[in-house]
Chain A
């Protein structure tokens, strides 16, 4: 993971993970660490996809259940679920996913454009599609994972 790909801006390393039956990937530079699932403390009046907060070495880390956030059927997290700690702007959050599956190297040329569908979720999160060994992995953007400023109606 240490090899930097800065020399060629078009090549990037991505971390792929599984949510339900789908595979997604994000830029590995945004990932701080990967940890096992621990029970989260529920937050009152939070969006349904925020599972709560956990203690990450003294910092309070909100956990977003990615399946729920992406509108996929959500499962109760198991001992095999994984939290990917990512940095989004100046905040750190944990993404609850089913499993980390792969580390990929991809250039811009590998990434296929997202078909123009009228799904807001797809438009908000999916930046491109990556074919790997006959699988399709969606490259997602993390910018909108947490609700931005907007307060959910209490």
Chain B
């Protein structure tokens, strides 16, 4: 990849982060919990996007970001109140900004009219923000007089040492208006006396731009500590004018007339603002305002130090650490075998090593763990859009955004969550009229929560809508031939009908514009992650969907068992309980399948070794242990094995990478002795009681 493309990619990555920060900040502002720093962060996010976009000459993006930034600056300075109307506009602007960024990245197109409409709204709102009398309101338009600024810019050697470039700053400055730059070389020494790394030049720049001084300062924001910067408004062309005069079309018209100096580009110069809290009048501002400095310092403190690392590198490291753990275990075993006493120095040192390697493993795993915030942050926009599409009012409340989970899991929960939230609004929430009639607030509530529960992450999407219309669900299931007309179903069973394939109208996960996205697709993608989905619904009070997912896809908690000399791992999540079977509780159901009586019910039994084809003979009951497991969809079975060797965390290794998928085996792992052990696919093994997978005579099953 050429370096420019790489930089461009980094820019867009950063844009995504800035957009996330922007959205988060705006939502905080909307909820009224915003502090001054939040507003600053929001402003910085837009400003950074604008700055970066300028470098890549993404003009549409720069233009919009500029308008957006201007409005935010007004919010920041307190001249624009953040009422619901303004907040709504800012949120929509954030959406448009995100669209523009993505369009720029993918060379796509954006809805120009939407952008233009927002720009108009911004213009109106920024004028309203000032609560101006009608006459001056018309003043600050494009045909207003263009003030002239004199900028004296003297870089220090440090500026160049930090790889800044005067030409780029000048180019950036040119975006504000026409500039005329003159280099002052009077301080340039003789060549023989010149320090090659020194800085001797001063630029005197004349800028014609209807902008605030702060806007000019922003151009130099990143270098302001490394240069002498003087910004002065040009002296008035007609000094005879009195303050308060309204003049149009005069180039010399300037802030000189109307102190205090204006820090806000939308502010009409003709009317001094009584409520404007500008610093004391001073046409020449040698240093940036104190509060700007303070904000900068705060921002430095708020930004946590992070580095960007290729995911492959992290994965490689996780692999290697997994190897280290195995090697360490092998070494310990060898040392014990060699007859070295546990209390000896070698054994003690090994024990230290073991602690250390475990700690390294945990730390490396933690690198991949990320808060679910990044996914949650995409949802408010979704809610706004779906609500607008469906004509409903919806509010999203999120909880537990800082819950951490492996990055691969995060990437793959976004789609199911999107569909669930879409469904919650589209099918869950009622129209405002119906809600009011039912005595609920017109605005529906969608709640998205995340929490850790017993080694898994649990995500819940709930709404306070009408709940599942069971009569309609049943009717539709009948229509689609999913159930027979005389079936009697419990409420739970009816609720779970929506997960059946063929129940909904749309079929693919990518179909985001369609309505009624198939919940079976959601369930499938959740199951592919080793997760489960459950639903509960109360008529009139809403429904909630609960997703339970493993924290990582790389490590699995498993029970080590042996079956006919083969070591196998059973995922702990699938195990309900272990039991010691009694012959008196076991009954033959047919020639092949035995069932065991368990708390009044009968559960089919599966001999693990036999189901995998390791052995034709069934294990003797009194020599075996039994594990009650639950597969997909709550199907239960009792697995018979020779022995249980305890619980263990294993690193999942793919079989497909070098071989192919093996029915009944989910993956492999490497044990402490360096040998490969297979991880049982409980779903498939449980199904052997229901399908012909391992049974030559399917007719027997018909009897079952």
Which among B326, B613, B659 is the interface contact of A45 at CB below 8 angstroms? Answer: B613
CB distance from A41 to the nearest CB of B (A): 4
- Given A58-B319, A60-B676, do A44 and B670 touch, yes or no (CB 8 Å)? no
A33 to chain B, nearest CB (A): 14
Q: Is the CB of B657 within 8 A of A54?
A: no
Given contacts A41-B676, A45-B664, whether A59 and B657 have CB atoms under 8 Å apart is: yes
Which chain B positions have C-beta within 8 A of A58? 319-320, 322-323, 326, 653, 670
**B566 CB–A CB distance under 8 Å:** yes
Q: Is the CB of B678 within 8 A of A41?
A: yes
B578 at the interface (CB under 8 A from A): no
Q: Does B668 make an interface contact (CB < 8 A)?
A: yes
A-B contact number at CB 8 A: 82
B658:A62 contact, CB within 8 angstroms:
yes
A interface footprint on B310-347 (CB within 8 Å = 1, 0 otherwise): 00000000011011001000000000000000000000
Q: With a CB–CB cut-off of 8 A, which chain A residues contact B323?
A: 57-58
Contact of A59 among B566, B614, B653 (CB under 8 A): B653
Do A41 and B319 touch (CB < 8 A)?
no
Q: Are A93 and B613 interface neighbours, CB within 8 A?
A: no
Closest to B694 in A: A154
Chain A count of residues within 8 A CB distance of the other chain: 28
Q: Is the CB of A44 within 8 A of B614?
A: yes
Measured between alpha carbons, how far is A58 from B651 in the docked complex, in Å? 9
Give Cα A60–Cα B655 distance, bound, in whole angstroms. 6
Does B612 reach chain A (CB closer than 8 Å)? yes
Taken residue by residue from 637 to 676, chain B's Cβ proximity to chain A (1 for < 8 Å, 0 otherwise) reads as 0000000000000000111011110111100101000111
- Candidates A38, A53, A146; contact of B668 at CB < 8 Å: A53
B671 CB to closest chain A CB (Å) equals 9
Whether the Cβ atoms of A41 and B657 lie closer than 8 Å is no
Known: A55-B676, A60-B676. A43 touches B658 (CB 8 A): no
Contacts of A92 in B (CB 8 A): 658
Instruction: Write the B522-553 contact mask toward A (1 if CB under 8 angstroms, else 0).
Output: 00000000000000000000000000000000
Smallest CB–CB gap between B153 and chain A, Å? 56
Q: Per-residue 0/1 for A33-74: is the Cβ within 8 Å of any B Cβ (1 yes, 0 no)? A: 000001111111110001011110111111000000000000
A146 and chain B: residue at smallest CB distance? B659
- When C-beta atoms are compared, the residue in chain A nearest to B671 turns out to be A55
B654 touches A43 (CB 8 A): no
How far, in Å, is B378 (CB) from chain A's closest CB?
34
Residues of B within 8 A of A154 (CB): 613, 663, 693-694
CB-CB under 8 A from A149, the residues of chain B are 660
Q: Is B159 an interface residue (CB 8 A)?
A: no
14 A-B interface contacts by CB (under 8 A): A41-B566, A42-B566, A42-B614, A44-B662, A44-B678, A54-B675, A58-B323, A58-B326, A58-B670, A60-B659, A91-B659, A146-B659, A149-B660, A154-B694
8 closest residue pairs by CB, A with B: A44-B612, A62-B659, A41-B676, A55-B670, A58-B323, A60-B668, A53-B676, A91-B658
Apart from A41-B676, A154-B694, list 7 A-B contacts with CB within 8 A.
Answer: A43-B655, A45-B663, A53-B655, A53-B668, A60-B657, A92-B658, A151-B660
